[in-house]
Every structure is written in structure tokens, then in C-alpha cells.
Amino acid sequence: MTFETVKQVRVRYVALIGNPNCGKTTLFNALTGLRQKVGNYPGVTVEKKEGRLTLAGNSEATLLDLPGTYSLNATSPDEKIATDILLGRAEHTQRPDVVVCVVDASNIERNLYLVSQILDRQIPVVVALNMIDVAEEAGIEVDVKMLERELGVPVVATIANKGIGINELKESIANAQSRTAQKRPWSMPALVEEECGELVGLLQQYHKLNENSAFDEALTLLTSPEALEEHRDRFAPELLAHVQKDHERLDFMGIDRQSVVVEARYEWIKSVCGKAVTQAQTSALSTSDKLDRVFTHRIWGFVIFVGLMALIFQTIFTWATVPMDLIGEGFDSIGNHIHEVMPAGDLRDLLINGGLAGVAAVVTFLPQILFLFLFLGLLEDTGYMARAAFIMDRLMSKVGLHGKSFIPMLSSFACAIPGIMATRTIESPKDRLVTMLVSPLVSCSARLPVYALLIAAFIPHDHVLGFLSLPALTLLSMYLLGLVMALSMAWLFKKTLLRGAAPLFIMELPPYKLPSLKSVLLQMWERSKLFLKNAGTIILGVSIILWFLATYPRVEGVTPAEQLQHSFVGKAGQLIEPVIKPLGFDWKIGIGIIASLLQREVFVSTMGTIYNIQNSDDESGSLSLQQQMRNDIDPETGLPVWTALTAICVMVYYVLAMQCMSTLAVLKRETNSWKWPLFQLGYMTALAYVVTFVVYRVGLLWGFGV
Amino acid sequence: MHHNSHLSLTDVPMGQRVRIRQLNSQPDFCMRLREMGFCENAVVRCVSKGSGTIICEVCNTRIGLNQLVASSIVVSSFE
Ligand SMILES: Nc1nc2c(ncn2[C@@H]2O[C@H](COP(=O)(O)OP(=O)(O)OP(=O)(O)O)[C@@H](O)[C@H]2O)c(=O)[nH]1
Ligand SMILES: [Mg+2]
């Protein structure tokens, strides 16, 4: 291969591109020192991320991490982000000066397909041959020098997660050279080449295209079945007539126009691999194959999945209690300390009942949330996530979606926002929209404090079904209710608003691997930082505002409980009480629901603040929030405000109601209009109200209301 | 021995290797199949079968498909 002119390029903007799950983000993190999310399933990265890359001689460049893609003909929104940037079609983003093509060495043939498409462009390329450790284990050996010669671009072997080859890669990026007028290495059958050549000539003549884009257009016109109809207005009639004749000739010769280019590329790849790759014949089943026989088994697969979920919820409940109690005690002693050292007055009340009570109520649940993220991280990192999608495909196809829609739902266990983002991997726009609409019904980590508080306070600690306790079972039921409702609504939407064809499901299943403790812990660390920051800002802010509204206007000579009744919050509560009375909620719950429209954890902090104010002068003020809630008596009826049924109704309401402004904002961004977020807010709130009402009435009938 | 019996990927027993002959789906989706390795003439091995789903190995990767996709891939045995 010869270069006509070899020119060093100024490297300022570098993009990482490659197949899904080949290690781009791991490489990005190693190159920039950042901590973007890594996981062992395709479609972890769904938006572009930028970082600073310091090259030799201290020159700085911007490095871009992109979603994975199988080819430059993108079909899903995440792939489109990658290909648009590479082809210079993205708004506000320049074309990269150098492209680092990440290739998974253990799966080199398929990965080289994208490389072959990129090599057709005149853009400086460096190939990072990643995962050579995995390849070696599978008995695949790659001759890097030979591959370099065959591809005509620098190739660097790397093991991204161990930081091997990173410096060499930096060097190659810094020395990247422009590739002008390089001969295309792959070739199609003679007849197709001939006609393609003619078309390129015509396109340059009629439409003044440069050689590169003329070649692209020629290929599309020749191979795409709808090309003629689709591009009728774009091209000169003479040209289209020529294309028509070409089609007839190729069809007559029995050449499959659709597949001819892909096959030609794979032919070339085969010859490259023939020279540069040696693979030991392995007939034995790999470990992943053996595991898949169990984990994706038609019966066992499902049993294992449900068992895993049950185990997760059980451990969240049992293991987390110890650190939770510690945090609770910690906050208590801070409160006591403030109580002792400060003189009585509004400021002390504000600190203890306003700030501390609200924040403490939420922060107590940090351990549970950490456990949830630990398990989600393990699922993602072992490769089980993709299997879960696969197992669920049959169930999902019953509601008209496919297995890929299950990954956003699983991600929504953490938070609906990454869940909605993860829908970018879904090819069909309608299926994607349906998935975005229903994903927030899946219980996110913000609901966990609400469930945990109410379960701990009102669900007896009995054992059922052997190892499963009643609290864990209740928690599991809430999560299942969310999932079942998500699926039912998906079915409804697919039947009515967003009809579509039966879904075609295809998804890569990465090899199983031992989870990297480091990356799981990092995820947990990032999450807890976010959670604490939220507690220190939004929760604190809302708690303080709530304290003012619950303390003023002052009335003299009444008990704190009566004072609360006469405050702004109390008045507002009485105003909304008629609306929520049918659900069995009293006005304090109503205030919690309104305040937590912002985000769901606020319910817990609101309870903390309100109950602390209500009981601020008597002994019960020093009791735990759960105890205070259990002791709360409705002054009018003399009955407890909270029963187990009330607790369940509040939980059901929280499972179903849309109480998260950030989710709505993200949905607005992803769908580009307020129509769908408003629809989501409306349908979820209505659903929550109706279902909670039914649960309450049925519960009363069955005598659970006491 | 050369068989020319054409089957779809759904009919392939577990563990057997076959060669892809033809893709019968919407053009866009066929393109996607090819790009993921299910190209005409590629060799596929059926790794395991679930209920309504299949895992096969192509180009050293495991790929999960549903029945609808698998039935649109025409294969022939080649050994
Ligand atoms: N053994 C080994 N594992 C690696 C290597 N590079 C990455 N991984 C692992 O491969 C998995 C995928 O890595 P990611 O960096 O998330 O892959 P990605 O290309 O960004 O994936 P998407 O964003 O989904 O397209 C993770 O579990 C990594 O820890 C490597 O060189 N060797
Ligand atoms: Mg990534």
C-alpha cells in the first residue's frame, strides 16, 4: 500500500469508534483518567462523552467516547450519534482529526467490518486491537505487524482494563498521518466494479460530488432496493436511467445486489484474517456456552432470574439494616448535641426539625441504595444483563416489544433517566417510545426509601416461604407490581396508540466474566456521591422551606400538633384532603405527595420534618420516625392515621405515580416535545389514583383497615 | 457428500454448524443481520435454544435471536 503524500496531522479532536462492547469506554477512561460507565453488555454508552487527552510533547487533544455501532449505516439512535460524528454530519461537532478504531481481538472478523467501512474514508485511522487477553484465552493469535501491513494503518495491541498498550496508543495517535488517495483494498465482482466505476464518473460529472461521496452514493444506488424511488428527486434523470439499466443487468446475471458489497468486504476480511490471525481449533464448548445452557434455559433460565431477584431484595433488607441503624444513631446524636448546645428557639428548631430531620430521614437509606447498585453493577459486569434481556424476550414479545426493551427497564431499577437513555439502542422508533413511556413505572432507587420506611414501620417481621421474610416479600411485590404494570401499559400502548409490526430481536451476548470489583465499587461511589449531594442540596432545601411553611403563621398557646394544623402546610393539607381521602390518606401524606412531585425521596424527608415538628415538645419527639408514625392518632376519629393498609396504599401510589420532574425533562429532550412527557404524567397519575383506590377499597372489604 | 436441503435456522439442532444461504426479511433488517455477521456464506453454530429464542455463534460471538428472525435465515448443512 502506498501513500501519495504522507502528512502528519494536527491532532486536536480524536474519536473512539468501534462495535458495541469492544472496550471503547474502558479505553477512554484509561486514556483520559475519567470514570465513564463501563459494563459488560452492548449499549452501555448511548451518548457522546468528551475528555482531555494529553499526548506526547504535552500537546492536548479532546477525546470523544461514542456509542458502539456495527456499521456506518446506523439503524438505532445511539449508533446514529457515532456515525453522524464520524461522517461529519453532526451539528455543533466537528469531524474528528483522527479516528481510533477499537477492535475486539477475540471477535476480529466482525469488528473489521466497521474498520473496512471507515478505511474507505480519507480520515486518519489508528486501530486499537483491544482484548488481546480474551483472544489469547480463546486460542486466537493476531500478528499485529501483519495486520498493520494489511490494513495500511497503525495497529496497537491493548488490554484496556489493565492499562496495557495505552502509551503506545497515545504515541500512534500523536503520529497519525493523513491518508489521501489510498487504493480501496476490497473489491466486488468485476461486473459490479465496472458499473460502480461508471456511476462514480456520472455522479462526479452531473452532481459535482467528490470521489469519496460519489463512491458512497454509487454503492447506495446500486445496492439499496428502494434507491431508485427514494432518490428520484435528488439525481439527474440520465443518471437514474443508467442505474435502472445497471440493476437489470446485475439481476440478470444473478448477482444479489443487496448483499454483494457486504460479501465483498467479508471476503477481504477473510483474506486479511487468513494472513494475520491464527485460531487454534476448539471444538469443546466454552465456559460461556456451558453457562448459557443453564442461564438461558427455557425453564431454568426463568427460575434463576426470579430467584436472583428475590435474593437481591432479601439481602437489601437484611444486610443493610446494620449500617442503616448506625447512620440513624449518628444523626440522632448530632441532633441531641445541637439540642444541648443551642438555646431553645426558632433557629434550633429550624436546624433540628427542618434541616436535620429531613436530610437524616433520607440519608439513612444510603446503605440500601448502595446494595441495590452493588447488585445491579454485578449483573451488568458479569454479562448477565444481556441474558436477562434474552430470557425476557418471550415475555416482552407477548406485549409487542422485544428483549432489548428489558434492558432500559432493568436500568430503571436504578433510575428512570439512564433507563430512558438506554432506549436509544432500540431500532424501532415506536417500540422505543413505548419503552420510554413505561420504564418509569419500574421502581427506581428513589422509591426505595419510601418503601423501606413504610415497610419497616408497618409490615410485621414474619417469615414466609422459608428464607424470605414478609418485609422482603412486600418489597419484591412492589417491584413486581411496577414491572407488571409497565408490561401491561406497554401492551396497551402497542395495541392502541403505537401499533407496529412484530418485533425482530437480535442482540449480542457478551462472554461471561468475573466482575471487576473496582468498576462496581466505582459505580457505587459515584452513586453515593450523587445521592449525598442531592440530600445536601435539594432535600435540605425542600426540608427548610417545608419547615417554614409548617411552623408559620405562629399561634400562641397551643400544642405543636395544633400549631402544625394551623400552619400553611396544615391549611394546604386540609385543602387537598378531600382529593386523597378516598385513598385512605390523611393530609400529612397528601403534603408528602405534593412535596415529592419534585422527586420521590422528598416524601421521606417530608415525613421526617412534619413528624418532628408535630412531636417537638413531648417525649415522643426523640422516638424514631417509624415509631412516631405508628403512634400518630387522628384527633377527629381517634383512630391511628397509619395502618398496614395505608402503608401499602401509599407504596402502591408511589409505584405507579409519576413523581419525578427530571424524568419528564429527559423524556422531553429525547422526544423533542412536551406532548409525551405530559401524556406520561397524566396516565401515570391517573393509573396510580385508580389502582390505589381499588386496593384501598378491597383492603377495607377484607378487613385490613385496622 | 453434499446436501442441498434448505432449512431455516430454527430447524438446526443444538451444536450443529450450518452455512447461511439467504436472508428473507425486510431489506434494512437483512443489512443489519449481515453487519452483525449473518452474511450469506457465513458459518453459524446453534449454541442453545430457549423458548422462542435461539443463541447462535457466528464469527466467534454469541448472538441471541428470536424465532421470527431465525426463521428468516435460510441455511444449509455443509458437512
Ligand atoms: N479482559 C478484558 N476485558 C476488557 C478489556 N477492555 C474492556 N474490557 C471489558 O469489556 C467490557 C466492555 O467494556 P466497555 O468499555 O463498556 O465497552 P464499550 O465499547 O464502551 O461498550 P458500549 O458502550 O456498550 O458500546 C467491560 O466489562 C470491560 O471491563 C480488555 O482489554 N480485556
Ligand atoms: Mg461504552
Instruction: With beta carbons less than 8 A apart as the criterion, state whether A442 and A413 touch.
Output: yes
Q: What is the DSSP-derived secondary structure letter of residue A424?
A: G
Cβ-nearest to A73 among B31, B59, B69 = B31
Residue of A nearest to B34 (CA): A262
Question: Which residue has better confidence, A195 or A32?
Answer: A32
Ligand 1 nearest-atom number relative to CA A134:
1
Average pLDDT of the residues in A398-403: 89
- SS3 call for B77: strand
Chain length of chain B: 79
For B22-49, the DSSP string reads: EE-S-HHHHHHHHHTT--TT-EEEEEEE
Supply the pLDDT for residue A491. Answer: 94
pLDDT digit string (tens) for A635-657?
778 888 899 999 999 999 999 99
CA A8 from chain centre, in angstroms, equals 39
Which residue, judged by its Cα, is nearest atom 7 of ligand 1? A23
Question: CA A550, CA A565: separation in Å to the nearest integer?
Answer: 8
The answer to which of A329-338, A401-410, A459-468 has the lowest mean pLDDT is A459-468
For A427-475, the DSSP string reads: SSHHHHHHHHHHGGGS--TTHHHHHHHHHHHHS---B-STT-BHHHHHH
Supply the pLDDT for residue B1. Answer: 39
The answer to which of A59-68, A452-461, A555-564 has the lowest mean pLDDT is A555-564
Question: Given an 8 Å threshold on Cβ–Cβ distance, is B66 in contact with A505?
Answer: yes
Question: Given an 8 Å threshold on Cβ–Cβ distance, is B39 in contact with A289?
Answer: no
Cβ-nearest to B59 among A110, A259, A394 = A110
Q: Measure in Å the smallest separation between the Cα of B26 and chain A Cα atoms.
A: 10
Q: Which ligand is nearest to the CA of A519?
A: 1
- SS3 call for A140: strand
Position A549, amino acid: L
Supply the pLDDT for residue A249. Answer: 86
Does residue A416 carry a pLDDT above 80? Answer: yes
Supply the pLDDT for residue A18. Answer: 95
pLDDT digit string (tens) for A234-275?
777 787 888 888 888 888 888 888 888 888 999 999 999 999
What CATH architecture is B6-77? Roll (2.30)
Average pLDDT of the residues in A218-226: 79
Share of chain A above pLDDT 90, in %: 38
The reply to whether B24 touches chain A by the CB within 8 Å rule is no
- Mean of pLDDT over chain A: 87
Supply the pLDDT for residue A446. Answer: 87
Burial A74-84 (b: 16+ CB within 10 A, else e): bbbbbbbbbbb
pLDDT digit string (tens) for A46-103?
999 999 999 877 788 999 999 999 999 888 899 999 999 988 887 777 889 999 999 9
pLDDT digit string (tens) for A25-43?
999 999 999 988 899 999 9
CB contacts under 8 A, B 39-58 vs A, are 39-42, 47-53, 55, 57-58
Chains A and B form CB pairs within 8 A to the count of 128
Residue that has been written with the C-alpha cell 417491584 in this structure: A479
Residues on chain B touching A298 (C-beta within 8 angstroms) = 49-51
CB atoms closer than 10 angstroms to residue A420: 25
Instruction: With beta carbons less than 8 A apart as the criterion, state whether A612 and A331 touch.
Output: no
CA-CA-CA-CA dihedral for A658, A660, A666, A667, to nearest 10: 10
**Environment class of A496 (CB within 10 Å of its CB; exposed 0-12, middle 13-18, buried 19+):** exposed
CA A391 from chain centre, in angstroms, equals 19
Residue of B nearest to A508 (CA): B63
Residue of A nearest to B48 (CA): A293
Instruction: With beta carbons less than 8 A apart as the criterion, state whether A419 and A449 touch.
Output: no
Q: Which residues contact A49 (CB under 8 A, 6 or more apart)?
A: A25, A28, A34, A36, A64, A65
Q: Is the dihedral of CA B13, B18, B23, B28 positive or negative?
A: positive
Supply the pLDDT for residue A667. Answer: 94
Best residue among A16, A19, A21, A104 to mutate for probing ligand 1's pocket (most ligand atoms within 8 Å of CB) is: A21
The answer to which of A93-97, A464-468, A594-598, B34-38 has the lowest mean pLDDT is A464-468
Does residue A212 carry a pLDDT above 80? Answer: no
Q: What is the DSSP-derived secondary structure letter of residue A353?
A: I
pTM, full prediction: 0.87
CA A440 from chain centre, in angstroms, equals 12
Supply the pLDDT for residue A1. Answer: 43
Residue that has been written with the C-alpha cell 501519495 in this structure: A4
Tell me the pLDDT band of A406, cut-offs 50, 70 and 90: very high
The reply to whether A290 touches chain B by the CB within 8 Å rule is no
Does residue A194 carry a pLDDT above 90? Answer: no
pLDDT digit string (tens) for A119-159?
988 889 999 999 999 999 888 999 999 999 999 999 999 99
Angle at A205 between CA A242 and CA A200, to 5 degrees: 60
Question: CA A565, CA A238: separation in Å to the nearest integer?
Answer: 83
Supply the pLDDT for residue A214. Answer: 83
Question: Given an 8 Å threshold on Cβ–Cβ distance, is B69 in contact with A504?
Answer: yes
Question: Given an 8 Å threshold on Cβ–Cβ distance, is B68 in contact with A502?
Answer: yes
Average pLDDT of the residues in A281-285: 68
Distance A67 CA to ligand 2 centre (A): 6
Average pLDDT of the residues in A488-492: 95
Q: What are the Cα distances from residue A429, in Å, to A89, A403, A405? A: 21, 15, 12
Supply the pLDDT for residue B49. Answer: 82
The reply to whether A259 touches chain B by the CB within 8 Å rule is yes
Average pLDDT of the residues in A604-621: 77
Distance A661 CA to ligand 2 centre (A): 27
Q: Which residues contact A80 (CB under 8 A, 6 or more apart)?
A: A74
Supply the pLDDT for residue A536. Answer: 85
CA-CA-CA-CA dihedral for A367, A371, A374, A380, to nearest 10: -140
Ligand 1 nearest-atom number relative to CA A26:
15
The answer to which of A43-47, A224-228, A334-338 has the lowest mean pLDDT is A224-228
Distance A21 CA to ligand 1 centre (A): 5
The reply to whether A508 touches chain B by the CB within 8 Å rule is yes
Assigned C-alpha cell, A397? 414479545
Residues on chain B touching A506 (C-beta within 8 angstroms) = 32-33, 36, 63-66, 69
Does residue A185 carry a pLDDT above 50? Answer: yes
Q: Which residues contact A601 (CB under 8 A, 6 or more apart)?
A: A362, A365, A446, A449, A450, A534, A535, A539
State whether ipTM is beyond 0.90: yes
Best residue among A40, A41, A161, A407 to mutate for probing ligand 1's pocket (most ligand atoms within 8 Å of CB) is: A161
CB atoms closer than 10 angstroms to residue A211: 12
Best residue among A19, A25, A80, A169 to mutate for probing ligand 1's pocket (most ligand atoms within 8 Å of CB) is: A25
Question: CA A355, CA A337: separation in Å to the nearest integer?
Answer: 14
- SS3 call for B53: strand
Tell me the pLDDT band of A286, cut-offs 50, 70 and 90: confident
So where are chain B's domains? 6-77
Tell me the pLDDT band of A619, cut-offs 50, 70 and 90: low
